[in-house]
Structures are given as C-alpha cells and as structure tokens.
Structure 1
Amino acid sequence: MKVGLLLSAAVQVLPSANPVAVGATLTLSLHPATALRGGSWAVGDSLILTWLGEQEAVFPDHSGRASVDVITAALTLTAVTLEDSGVYVVQSSDPPFRANASITVLEPVSNVTFSVNQTDLSELSTVVVTCSASSGSSPSFLWLNGSSEVVANERVALTDENATLSIVGVTRHDRGPFRCFAFNPVSNGTSDFLTFTITYGPDNMVLAVNGNATSFLTGSNLTMLCSAQSSPPALLQWAFRGQLLNSTGPSLKLFDVSQDQSGPYGCLAYNNETNRSSNITKDVVISKSHTSALKQHAFHVWLVPMMPWLGFLLAMLDAGGPL
C-alpha cells in the first residue's frame, strides 16, 4: 500500500492541451511514464473505459471517441465537446494507483463584429461602438486603433468588460481605423476595420507670399498660397484691404505688381458642413526700393491693427457725432 501511495504522489496526468478547443483531440498522459497492467479512466462519476492487458472496453457515452494506450495508459479523446470538461481520473489496482487532472473545454471565438450608432461624426460629438462574437466561450475584448491598443482616458471609456468603446468629444485624430479583437485561451478573432468620417475646421490657417517674404519691389510677380485644416476641404476666398476679390481657391497670383497693390491681403475659409469660418491676413509692401519698402512695412505694421478704430472714427464723423 505504501508503494501505491508513493506512486500516486509521484506521477502526474499531463494533458496535451488545457484548455482545449471544442472539436480538438485531447491526450492525457502519465508523467513519468508508468506501466499499469490494467485500470480505468473516468470523468467525474462517469466511466470512460477500462482495460486489462491488451483488452479495452469503452463505455457507450464515449464509444468511437475514446481509446487507451495499454502500454503507457495514456487516454486519447477525439472531437471533444463542452460537456467533456471535468476532472479526469485514472486508477489501477495492479499496482495500486490513482491520479487526476482537471480539464476545461472551450468553444472557439468566431464571427467577431461590431455595431456603431453613427460613422459620420463632427468634432466634439460622441460615438459608441459595441463588439460581439457569434460564438466563443467567455471571450475577452480589446480595441485597436491602427496597431495601437486603445486605453481608457478622460475621453475614452471601455465598458461591458471592454466590449463597448465610447469616445466623448471626438477629435479629428479619432478617425481610426478601429477594430475589435476578441479572444479566449483557445482562439481569437478580429472584426472588420471601422473608419470614421469626421468633419472639422477650418482652423490653423497659413498664408505665405513667395515663401515667407512680405516686402517686394515693383514689377515682381507674387504667388500667395493659403491653407486651412478642414474636413471637408474649406472653400477659400481672397480679399484685399477688406474687400473681397473675384478670386477663390488656394492660390492668388499677381503679376508685375505696383505700389498701389501694397496692403493687407486676406484669405477667408468656410466649411459648409460645420458652418464655421476662419480667416488670416498678411500685410504685403511693394515699393521701388528696399529702403522705402522697409518704411512702408513699418507703417503698415502700425496701421493694420488700427484699421477697425479708424473705421469707427470715420463712421462717427459721417454721423456728426462728437469726438
């Protein structure tokens, strides 16, 4: 009896996989290898098979799926099901022996999809996306933005055990592509990509004249370029000294310029989806020499901020009001 007790304590049942996926083949081996002249395998209170020498008998519940290696006592079970989860016990009376292992069978994850309340968004709006799998035992979820994992922060919430992703105060950088990754210990699956269309702007405007210059000689050719961050692309309109020009688009070209074309040039941007507008102004000085150009530039730098006040004073004079 002491020999049997020592043998049971020293020998372990090692599964080929644990957890194991539904439909897979499971093999339970003894380690170290132990010669048993006969014995039985059971799961819980249900006998699977018995063997003696080279003869084996498989019980009806496992007929056609279970077999034993009569040399090593290893049990092989094919096409496992969720019901095959349990504690597997091998025992023998010659020599006295008993060992066990707990096995978990899991259904693989499949058909990972998401549902979303809307895909056309504007900045500062809120969006909610929920991930699910049509099958799979106890799946876990995580979200990816491109190749980076999405983590919770002051704008991003992960709820329902990470199955639901909520973004509050959407920004233009939340476009994606997002995808949901569902997994359990035996399998994983990924949803299709989700890319949002986000309207924003116009903002962050830039106006450049022949690069970054502001002073030019008469007779020069000028190319003004205007840009704004906007989705959809903003409509761009040019202005000179506060008056709209008959010119639209990202560029304004002036050829053989004269001194009377000096002044503030403006670019106005409008997004017809967000109903927002923005503008930028740059003062351009055109003169016959570089010296006079510098003087005119200094005057314009002083004058441009004063233009609204000058307009107010002129309006007061026209109305006959007191100064």
Structure 2
Amino acid sequence: MGRKSGETVAFITLALIQVLVSDAVEIKPSKNPAAVGDTLTLSLSPSTSFQSGSWAVGESQILTWLGAQQAVFPSHSGRASVDVLTGALTLSSVKVTDSGVYIVQSTDPQLKANTSITVLEAVSNVTVKATQTSLMESNSSAVITCSVSSGSSPTFLWMNGSSEVTASDRVQLTDGNSTLTITNMTRYDQGPFRCHAFNLVSNGISDSVNFTIIYGPDNMALTVNGQNTTSFTAGSNLTMLCSAQSNPPAQLQWAFKGELTNTSGPLWELLGVTKDQSGPYSCLAFNNRTNMNSMITMNILIARSSEQTVSVWLLPLLLLTGLLL
C-alpha cells in the first residue's frame, strides 16, 4: 500500500513538473505574421539547454534532434534547421502553407510548447479600373474597381486626393471595399482617386484615376472695368468681362437691348461711349456638351460728363454777355 502511494505521488509530481515546465516556456517567433520568402526563427523563452527534442507543425513532423545530430523530414528538407543547444527552429523561404500551430517537445528537459504562425503573401501590383472617366454632372455614376496581382487577404482603402473616401448617400463601397461607386457625380468628384491595398506584412498603392465632369454653364459673373458700379460718364472706355463655370468652356455671345451683336468671347470693349449706349448688356453662355445655356444682364447708364453739363449752362450766359458788350 505504501509503495503504491509513493508511486502515485511520484507520478503526480512528475506530471506537475511537466506542466510547470510547459507553462514556463514560451515560443517567441522572430516575426508573426511573416511574409512569403522570409526567414523565420522560433526561439524558446527563457533560454533552455536541450539534449533532444522535436519540432512539428500540426500533425506534420519537421525535424528531430539528439545531442548534436538532427534529422529533417522530407517536407522541410533544405529549409529547416534547429539550434541543438537552445532548441530554436529556423525556417527559410517560408510559404503560405507554412502557416499553422508549431509544437516543440522534449524529454530532456521535459517540456511541450506551441504557438500559432501566419505566413502571408505580400501585396503587389495594385491596379484600378474605371468603367468610364467622362461623365455628365448629376446624371452619371462612376464605378472604380481595385485589384492586386498577389497578396493574402488584402484590405482596401480609397483616397480622393489626401482625403479618405468613406461611405455616404452617394458613395458605396462593396466587394470588401474593392469597388467604389459614386452616384450623381458632381464637378467636385474629379479626383484624383487612388486605391491603397495592404495586409499585415505589406502595402501598395495604385496609380490615380481622374474624371472629366461635364457641367454648366452656371454661376455667371459680369463686371465692367473691374468695378461693381453700372454708371459711367460719356467718353469713357468700357471693358466688360463675362465668365461662367462650365466644362468644356462655354461659348460666350454678347447682346445689347436684347439684340445679339457680332461680339463673342469673354471680353467686349467699348471706346468713347455715348449716352445712347445706355441700356441692358447681356452675356449669353452655351455649353455644346450639356446643351444648356445661361445668361447674365447688366443695365449700364451712360451720363453726360460734368464738363458737358457746365458748357450747356454757360452757353446762354456767354451769349447774353456778348450781346451786352
């Protein structure tokens, strides 16, 4: 009875020692996740001296060692080695299939530890493609897709210039964010749009996509001599400047008192204006892509100069004075 009790105690003690040793030792990977092609080292912490042991990944044996001798299994031939003193495993040119749970075991000292390793393929050749790049404002939708030629589980992020593109009423991100759709395109959605693709070991960025948005004409402006005033004296030179927001640039035509003139373009110059040139001046804008037009009108008053006014009042007086003399 005493012998059995002693054996039981010894067995429990041995089991506790094994558990304690297993819990006390950790596997420290040199990197995790690792990229395809990397060299990966799995070290034990704290450092321990070994007489023998083995490494496996899942159910597949990698290698075993006894003293200074080690034997590598065919599945890892030429890619795996162990430091027979510390038990550290080194894997070269790792592959995605090297991902898994790595287990180290030893009977001298008694231990067993494991860790999970992930190997990812690096992202490369990030490209974007748009269904079309010339779009009509408010009536068109843009669809851009992003893809990579290689890369494990990439995450996609879109940028418009320096700003991140996020989902909204007009913006949809689908297919794991790899597809960007913008509805009711506006003139402010020209871009440049870029796609960032990345995973835990790498990242890449695409070339930019720019959109040509057809819009206008609208937001017209008309100035005379660069001023806001509409009253000028006779004899003045007037330079009228017309502008409109439009893409492509609007065709501009001038009209006076509702009648088209032979003057086109953004500038109309009038030299030495007279009083009978008072009236409404209009600038008409037309976009031949949108087939839309717009107009702005300014009523200009040409008044007699102060010298002319004085002369008119002085003339009867001078005549009367002459007669008296």
**Alignment TM class, shorter chain as reference:** 0.7 to 0.9
- Name the residue aligned to 1:7: 21
* C-alpha distance in structure 2 between counterparts of 1:91 and 1:76, whole Å: 16
* C-alpha distance in structure 2 between counterparts of 1:263 and 1:288, whole Å: 15
After TM superposition, the structure 1 = structure 2 runs for residues 126-275 of structure 1, keeping only pairs within 5 Å, are 126-211=141-226, 212-275=228-291
* SS class of match (2:188): helix
Alignment gaps of 5+ in structure 2: 1-13, 309-325
Amino acid at match of 2:64: T
Shift of 1:189: 1.6
Shift of 1:5: 2.0
- Name the residue aligned to 2:315: none
TM-score, normalised to structure 1's length? 0.87
- 1:31 is aligned to 2:37: no
Per-residue CA deviation, residues 189-219 of structure 1 (Å, 9 max, x unaligned), is 2221100111100000000111222111111
- Name the residue aligned to 1:112: 126
Alignment gaps of 5+ in structure 1: 293-323
Aligned pairs, how many?
Answer: 292
* C-alpha distance in structure 2 between counterparts of 1:205 and 1:168, whole Å: 26
Segments ≥4 residues shifted beyond 6 Å: none
Amino acid at match of 1:236: L
| Kept after mapping to 2: 8 A contact 1:155/1:169 | yes
* C-alpha distance in structure 1 between counterparts of 2:129 and 2:135, whole Å: 15
% same residue:
65
* SS class of match (2:243): strand
- Name the residue aligned to 1:308: none
Is 225-234 or 135-144 further displaced after alignment?
135-144
Shift of 1:117: 1.4
| Kept after mapping to 2: 8 A contact 1:89/1:98 | yes
Amino acid at match of 2:266: P
Per-residue CA deviation, residues 220-259 of structure 1 (Å, 9 max, x unaligned), is 1111111000001101111111111111111111111111
| Aligned alpha-carbon RMSD (Å) | 1.6
Per-residue CA deviation, residues 104-140 of structure 1 (Å, 9 max, x unaligned), is 1111112222222111111011121111112211111
TM-score, normalised to structure 2's length? 0.87
* SS class of match (1:40): strand
Amino acid at match of 2:192: P
Amino acid at match of 1:75: L
Higher radius of gyration, 1 or 2: 2
Per-residue CA deviation, residues 41-78 of structure 1 (Å, 9 max, x unaligned), is 11111111112222211111111100111222111100
| Kept after mapping to 2: 8 A contact 1:236/1:269 | yes
- 1:83 is aligned to 2:97: yes
Amino acid at match of 1:249: G
* C-alpha distance in structure 1 between counterparts of 2:141 and 2:130, whole Å: 11
* C-alpha distance in structure 2 between counterparts of 1:259 and 1:69, whole Å: 103
* C-alpha distance in structure 2 between counterparts of 1:222 and 1:11, whole Å: 91
- 1:92 is aligned to 2:106: yes
Per-residue CA deviation, residues 242-282 of structure 1 (Å, 9 max, x unaligned), is 11111111111111111111111110001111111001011
Shift of 1:154: 0.7
After TM superposition, the structure 1 = structure 2 runs for residues 48-63 of structure 1, keeping only pairs within 5 Å, are 48-63=62-77
